[in-house]
Structure 1
Amino acid sequence: PRVLNYQFNGPEEVGARTAHIRGHFMARGGVETACWDLQARMKNEPLWKTIGGGARREIPCGVSIGIQDSVEQLLGKIETELAAGYQRIKMKIKPGWDVDVVRRVREKFPQIKLMVDANSAYTLADRNHLQKLDEFYLMMMEQPLAHDDIIDHAELQSALETPICLDECIRTPHHAEQAIRLRAGRIINIKLGRVGGFAAAKRVHDTCMANDIPVWCGGMLESGIGRAHNIALSTLRDFVLPGDVSSSKRYWARDITCPAIEVSPAGTITVSDRPGFGYEIDTDFLNSVTARLETVT
């Protein structure tokens, strides 16, 4: 209702119209990103151009692997993903599934780009234990502490050689500014849904780039529509690290967009030049799996 029947000069104004709403970043971002797509289609240009991207035409892709039942199963999954071309492996860790498991992975794959994601599984009391991960020359350790913490991450980062990547605690451009000022991490993961759309994501990106903080695009189990928006976002200049943008078939037997998003043998996705987000919606299939339809007026 805040955007219906309201005249905007451009999609960058949509986020400001809903800025007074606390939280609900995904809902606000869904509306805002759709407006950017609409603007791109009205200009008959690809979404990446509308948002000011285009720094690269091939998006480097990484993959995320969760906690497995055994180390052998984890090693097998990593081998499968590397064979598919993915350039970076992210493995989840937690207390009891961390140092020894990472050691096994490094022994088998000494040269791969490897990072770990703790999903807030640790506290500052674990700093000495987390220091043991420094020997494995990891790309980064993602969000080891609480999902809403910045200050403790700064203290932990000062004790680690491994770069900390901040994820869940960066929900606004202001959070990014605070984290950089406190030196809470050396890398930031940007997710469109988490920050509420392209305008906020671009502000986080620009702040990071101005402070020499590399960024990458995180994934949130998107369908083809969200995945296509992530591809566009990843063409901005400071997205220099492989993101969690993977092929459609990795999560969906059949996606709601066509053609399906594919990762090349080199571990990249080619950016589409079609207008808007670059893919067609498979309307017949979408209708066949729709459980509920709601119209907002």
Structure 2
Amino acid sequence: MTEVDQIAIEAVRVYRVSIPLINPYYLSKIYPTTTHSEVVVVELLANGVSGWGEADPGGVMFTGDTCDDVMDHFSDSGVKSLPGTMLGDLISGASLAGLCGATKSAINVAAYDLKGRLTDIPVWKMLGEKHHQSLPSLWPTSSGTSAQDMDVITPKYDLGYRTFMLKMGSNPVDEDIARVHDVYEKLPENARLMVDANQGWSFEEASTFMRHTIDLPLALVEQPIAADDYGRIHELRALSPNPISVDESLKRFADAEQIIKVKGADIFSVKISKNGGLAEGLAITKLAAKHGVKIMMNSMIELGITQAAALHLGCVTPNVVDFGHAFMSVQRTSDDITDFADWKTSGTVALPDKPGLGVEINRDKIDNYCLARLES
């Protein structure tokens, strides 16, 4: 460990924050409609400096925890146990064993940010070699109709977005098939299309979709079947040349190992909060590169802290996909507690030249949207 890694955390502050979305978000039939970005912000303090992390729980099926679970952890022991812990142990994850994805992620990301601010270096330098200065962003549509899709796609294309994700799995599969064909026919020039069923199809429905969309060059088909059924995804891969991505199936490093073993994915959908932070996310991307699996940087309904962390990881990942990644989350919320939105230009997001995560935190906005807080 370096001298900085041996610095002890002096204090912890935790804020439960809820910010309304501009429009409700409809996923597949197994998920409720999302109307707010509800997160838990974690502030670690040492040597007069703050590092920031953010838990973005998607529920048990996504991150393994909820906002209530995250707050319960910090209420029960988390706030009291972190002071005195060495920074390096939080970055490596040595002190975070047993924690679920979003809780673990918030602490791990805050530790990375704190080290970067203490040493005046950006987080990406702690992760590896920079392969990209910027990455393109996708834009998603809710599960609905092709007309509703085009109402979203047309203005976003004019703003520079070139990759669009259609959420599916709420309607009968034959309607989803007709919908994606209709959207593809109307898609602007040079745009890419992907679909995400969020576990909304049975294996038979997913097979039908794959067979009837062979003629469409989809960027990917994400999580077509239940998360625990990834052993059968290789059967779906044989039905179509369109690549399959796993999201809910991929929570931990052990999941990545098992999915690779059964040849269950062409693409890994990496989410910082779902995958337990930067350290675990980095390990997953390296394993994927070793086995020829591509990476798409995806997101929960999250704020700028986690979006920034995802960008740092994506920019050191050589095997990222060459189409859009999910860096649009703060454009879908009515506000944010950071300046991450300022990093975007014409559908592309670029790393700033700043220490740590590089985002500026607006404490007034935290206070404005805070539902509850804890402090060591």
Matching residue within 115, 120, 130 for 2:199 = 120
Secondary structure of 1:91's aligned partner: strand
Q: Which has the higher strand share?
A: 2
8 Å CA contact retained: 2:303, 2:329 = no
Deviation at 1:53, TM superposition (A): 4.7
* Distance (Å, rounded) in 1 between the aligned partners of 2:97 and 2:135: 31
Q: Write the deviation string for residues 96-131 of structure 1: whole angstroms up to 9, x where unpaired.
A: 241100111111116421110011011222213431
Alignment correspondent of 2:178: 100
8 Å CA contact retained: 2:308, 2:340 = no
Letter in structure 1 aligned against 2:118: M
Alignment correspondent of 2:102: 26
Alignment correspondent of 2:327: 245
Alignment correspondent of 1:202: 282
Listed as ranges, the matches of 1:125-136 within 5 Å are: 125-126=204-205, 127-136=207-216
* Distance (Å, rounded) in 1 between the aligned partners of 2:89 and 2:117: 13
| Structure 2 portions without partners, runs of 5+ | 1-77
* 1:227 has 2:303 as partner: no
* Distance (Å, rounded) in 1 between the aligned partners of 2:352 and 2:191: 28
Change beyond 3 A, Cα 1:3–1:148: farther
Listed as ranges, the matches of 1:1-297 within 5 Å are: 1=78, 3-9=82-88, 11-13=90-92, 15-21=93-99, 24-68=100-144, 70-94=145-169, 95-96=171-172, 97-109=175-187, 111-126=190-205, 127-236=207-316, 237-241=318-322, 242-246=324-328, 248=330, 250-258=331-339, 260-265=341-346, 267-295=347-375, 297=376
Secondary structure of 1:115's aligned partner: strand
8 Å CA contact retained: 1:11, 1:39 = no
Q: Write the deviation string for residues 135-182 of structure 1: whole angstroms up to 9, x where unpaired.
A: 111011000000233212122222232111011111111211211121
Runs of 4+ in 1 over 6 A off after TM superposition: none
Letter in structure 1 aligned against 2:327: V
* Distance (Å, rounded) in 2 between the aligned partners of 1:290 and 1:111: 42
Q: Give TM-score, length-normalised by structure 1.
A: 0.91
* Distance (Å, rounded) in 1 between the aligned partners of 2:129 and 2:272: 15
Deviation larger for 152-161 or 177-186? 152-161
Deviation at 1:271, TM superposition (A): 0.6
Change beyond 3 A, Cα 1:260–1:186: closer
Identity %: 24
* Distance (Å, rounded) in 2 between the aligned partners of 1:98 and 1:269: 31
Change beyond 3 A, Cα 1:189–1:144: same
| Structure 1 portions without partners, runs of 5+ | none
Q: Write the deviation string for residues 40-92 of structure 1: whole angstroms up to 9, x where unpaired.
A: 11210112222225211112111111113x42221121111111111211111
8 Å CA contact retained: 1:36, 1:51 = no
8 Å CA contact retained: 1:64, 1:91 = yes
Change beyond 3 A, Cα 1:261–1:247: farther
Secondary structure of 1:150's aligned partner: helix
Change beyond 3 A, Cα 1:79–1:54: same
Letter in structure 2 aligned against 1:64: P
8 Å CA contact retained: 2:194, 2:219 = yes
8 Å CA contact retained: 2:87, 2:111 = no
Deviation larger for 234-243 or 208-217? 234-243
Change beyond 3 A, Cα 1:8–1:271: closer
8 Å CA contact retained: 1:88, 1:114 = yes
8 Å CA contact retained: 2:177, 2:213 = yes
Cα RMSD after superposing both structures: 1.9
